Amino acid sequence: MKSFYILLLSITIFSCQKEKTSLPIEENSISISSQLKTDKLQTYEFVLKNDTLISGKEGTKIWITTDLFENYTNGKITFELKEFYSKEDMILNGLSTVTNKNELLESSGMFYINFKEGGKQLRIKKGKSYEVTIPNKPLADSNIYYNDNDSIFRWDLAKTDIKVLFPDILRNCAFRISVGKDNAGGFFKETTLDSLKIAQKIDSLKLIKILEEEEKELKKNINNDQMVVVDELNHDLKYDKYRDINNNERLTKEEKEKRIKNRDAFYNSMAEISSFSSDKLGWINIDRILDYEKLKKITIKNNDKLFDSDYVIFYNYLEQKSLINHYLNDFNSDYVCPELRIKGKIKVIVYTNNEDKIFYDKFYIDRNSNTEFSLKLKETTLDKLKQELISN
């Protein structure tokens, strides 16, 4: 991993460009969904002569080695990338955050990665992988998920771990390097995402001892003729960014909350680099399983039965980056979701199209809401439907 970042200094960096509509783009089962999509495809063509770093427009970086592919014949490679980090992009492109075990996920980002040589699909050698660095911090407890379908998103848990490079506060302190969001030139150490908080706490406790020893040594060397007043509150604040504040019995609840907030802001400002290795191409999702408040059986009645058309039922979890899309070929009978996972407030939109007209209805669900809803479909425009989908 360390050698990966050292090598970044000596490689050619490509930016994804030259969008091509001829490359495959996924299609959903309803035509209106295709019109809602944003054009996210980025492509770049190159010959793989050296280990190469490729950078996406939204900050995803893909590191590939010259021996990555088993069927590469030194021709021109077409690299394909789609990046989805905003909830709006995920919504308009019909993505869902549900596992193959029907678990609800919350996403830190999704992307599509693929390589071809001419019209030939490239395959990764057994035992080889490429490295992906993401531009933002993943949510705590996140994992990597894969999906090999372009229209039905039911994510499979991967075996790979998310790795994090984070500032080595002990070495940075020893060399008097300040720790913060702009300390990319300082010392870093590596751990996994699920061990990050533990590693930071261990480092913090070690640093506390070092700083306290320095404080004692400073006091010992003060002459008796000098009067030095140590403000106890300021002394505590010096170490609060590292200390377990909850164990400080002298602080009120409000003071503890304020100091914990300041400490969390300090850690969040640190320059962290999150990455993972993958031996698969296609759709990748960085997600965590979302704890839900309640399971509900939801029934949606389409009493009008206006059209013999396809329908989409879209669930937008307003307080999380969590989405569900259901595509129905037939809505002549009631639609029943036997176990909808409830978390906060969910905006539900049902939409369809008949010839050149779009129809929709919306309602909200939470843990205390009704469980049965009757549709009253209204005509709308594509732009208004987009706004309904992405708004609260």
pLDDT for residue 10: 36
d(CA 377, CA 9): 57
Contacts of 5 (CB under 8 A, 6+ apart): 165, 273
Q: What is the pLDDT of residue 378?
A: 93
Q: Give residue 245's pLDDT.
A: 75
CB 28 within 8 Å of CB 151? yes
**10-residue mean pLDDT series, the chain (392 residues):** 41 42 36 87 95 95 96 96 97 95 95 95 96 92 91 90 85 72 67 80 79 73 52 56 74 82 70 90 96 95 76 96 91 89 97 88 96 94 96 94
Rg, Å, the chain Cα set: 26
Are 94 and 110 in contact by the 8 Å Cβ rule? The answer is no
